[in-house]
Structure formats: C-alpha cells, structure tokens
Amino acid sequence: MGIGNYIKEIGRGKDGARSLSREQSADLFGQVLDQSVTDLEIGAFCIAMRIKGETAQEVAGFLDATDARLRKISTGGRPTVVLPSYNGARRLPVLTPLLALLLAREGLNVVLHGVATESSRVAAQDVLLALGITAQTAIEPITSGSLQFVPTNLLCPGLARLLEVRRVVGLRNPAHSLVKLMNPCDGPAVLVGNYTHPEYAASMSATFSLLQANALLLRGTEGEPVADPRRMPAMDVFLKGAASRVQEQQGGALESVPGLPAPDAQSTATWTQAVLAGQEPVPLPIARQLEHIVNLSRQIVA
C-alpha cells in the first residue's frame, strides 16, 4: 500500500507540513511496524516527523497502531506501575531499578521495559543484571509485588526495529516518544513518563489527557523516569487524564549527593542494595516520587 501519500503531507518542512488525523496516523504507523513499506519510506517518515514534530492526535494514532500489535502482559486486573527505560545514564548512576524495587516493596506490580539505545551509556538492564534480575525471555503474567524487566522486542518487534533506526540516522523518531507513553499491560496501569525538554512536557501532557491515562510526569534523570537525586523536580499526576500538580519544583541543585555511587553498573547495584537494606537513605526527590506513584495507584484501586 505504501505511505508516500502521508509523507507528502508531513514532509513539507517545518512551516508547510500538515498534521495527520488519528486514523491516518494509525494506518501509517501500522504499516511501518509491520515492515510493509521500504527502508527509504521509513527513513523519510522518521526525518519528516523529526522536523515537523508530533501532535497529540498523531501520537494517539501511533499508540493505537502499537497497542494493536503489543503482546500484552497479564496483570490479573491489578494496577501496575510501568517504567520505560531507554536512555540509561552517562554522568549519574541510573536509579530506575532502585525506584522499581522500592515500588515492588510497597506491594505494587512493576513492569520495567526497554532496550539500550546508546552504546556509551549504562543501561538499567545492566544494573538489574548486577542485582541478579534477568530480562524476561517470554511474556509472562506478573505476580503481586514483583518486578519484571521486559525487553521491547518481546512486546513489539516492529517497535524495537524502529528504535534501532536512531543508530543509523542519528536522530530520535516517534518510537522514542511512544515507548514513554504506551501501556504494555492488559489492565489499568500507572505510566511514569519523563521528559528532557519543556516542549516534550507539553506534548506528553496533551497525550496523557487525550488518552485519559493514569500517569505521573516529571523531568527525569538523563532521560530515565526517575527523579534526579540532586534536585526536586515538578511532578504532575494524571487521573483518567485530569492533570494536577502534586509536587512543585524546588530551586537550586546540589553539585553532588553524599554517598551516591559511581555510574557503573556494579557500583550502582551495590548502592541500591544498601538503600533497600536501610544502610543508605533514599534520596528525597526519589522518596517523593515513590510517594506520589503509590498514592495514584491507590486512587485507581479505589
């Protein structure tokens, strides 16, 4: 069928490009995920969307196509916290596994999904492996109070392939936005979204509202969905799409946090174990994030 007609609309440059409807976006992205188009068309789509930017309706359509192709995780109807981990860390330790394990300790189901997209960074998967937590090799039901790390290619091979395009062209594409917004579970979920630039905060907020999602949104640490231990970020909660500010940003930042480990996987894993054992304190920004996620999960149950 081809997506040339859609590329003609979105590829007219920053000022001349036209946005697609939700239905058109779902059709386009479904063809991309199914690999029913050429590599040239996929490259043109990625670059065109990078220049134009995605509207909330387009992202919703892309998510519709993705959702139809996802291999869903069975949760038994229990609300599940979803942590997308795709950036890893370079300057700071990646603390997404710490947040995930703290949430599981609260009795919540936790799904951490992702794949390494940059070779120069330490991935959450590296830290989990150092903690003795291996990646799933098949989609399995999640049990209460447990943590699963699910590689993206298990959830949706087409989406994993699209993420790999970045290694070729050097630019992010819509897949990098979608993985931070999708619900890979077959039931209700609390999506923990994060952004690195203010424009993404606005677009993610619009999408969460449009989809009537339950989510917590904050500026993460080097692209990871965990609060920076050096500073308190603003945090917004979405309950069935209705947004409310639950945490105000605090001015200033610490140059370093006493006791924070080196960013390598083993040091981070050892420190994570010390925090879980009560030998090191949970950094305040992460403790607040944990509190807000737990509260939102309880509201969904209620």
Question: Which percentage of the chain shows pLDDT scores above 90?
Answer: 81
Task: Tell me: do 87 and 235 sit in the same domain.
Answer: yes
CA distance 269 to 272: 5
Per-residue model confidence (pLDDT) at position 252? 67
Residues 260, 161, single domain; the answer is yes
State the pLDDT at residue 13: 82
What's the Cα-to-Cα distance from 249 to each of 92, 93, 214, 228, 232, rounded to whole Å?
20, 21, 21, 12, 6
pLDDT, tens digit (0-9, with 9 covering 90-100), for 124-136: 999 999 999 999 9
In terms of domains, do 40 and 104 share one?
no
Could you give the CA distance from residue 238 to residue 193 in angstroms, rounded to a whole number?
Answer: 11
48 and 175 belong to one structural domain: no
Q: For residue 101, what is the enclosing H or E element?
A: helix 96-105
Residues 90 and 159 in one domain: yes
The residue segments making up the domain with residue 42 are: 4-69
**Tokens 């897949």 belong to which residue?**
175
Report how far residue 172's alpha carbon sits from residue 175's, in angstroms, rounded to the nearest whole number.
8
Q: Are residues 103 and 23 in the same domain?
A: no
pTM: 0.94
Beta carbons of 155 and 256 less than 8 angstroms apart: no
Tell me, what's the pLDDT at 198? 85
In angstroms, the Cα distances linking 268 to 99, 119, 271 are 13, 18, 5
Residue 149 has pLDDT above 70, yes or no: yes
Residue 36's pLDDT band, with cuts at 50, 70 and 90, is: very high
Residue 189, in any domain of the structure: yes
- Could you tell me if 286 and 226 are in contact, meaning their C-beta atoms sit under 8 angstroms apart? yes
Number of domains comprising the chain: 2
Q: Is residue 127 part of a domain?
A: yes
Instruction: Decide if 168 contacts 188 (C-beta within 8 A).
Output: no
pLDDT digits (tens, 9 = 90+) for 40-68: 999 999 999 999 999 999 999 999 999 99
87 and 61 belong to one structural domain:
no
302 pLDDT higher than 60: no
Q: Are 36 and 115 within one domain?
A: no
Same domain, 167 and 33: no
Side-chain-side CA neighbours of 300 within 13 Å: the count stands at 28
197 CB contacts (<8 Å, ≥6 apart)?
none
- Averaged pLDDT score across all residues of the chain: 93
pLDDT band of 1, cuts 50, 70, 90: low
Instruction: Tell me, rounded to whole angstroms, the distance of Cα 285 from its chain centroid.
Output: 19
Q: Is residue 253 very low, low, confident or very high in pLDDT (cuts 50, 70, 90)?
A: low
- On whether both 190 and 265 belong to a single domain, the answer is yes
Q: 59 with 85, same domain? A: no
Looking at the structure, tell me whether residues 236 and 269 fall in a common domain.
Answer: yes
Give the residue, 2 or 209, on which the prediction is more confident: 209
- Whether 75 is in a domain gets the answer no
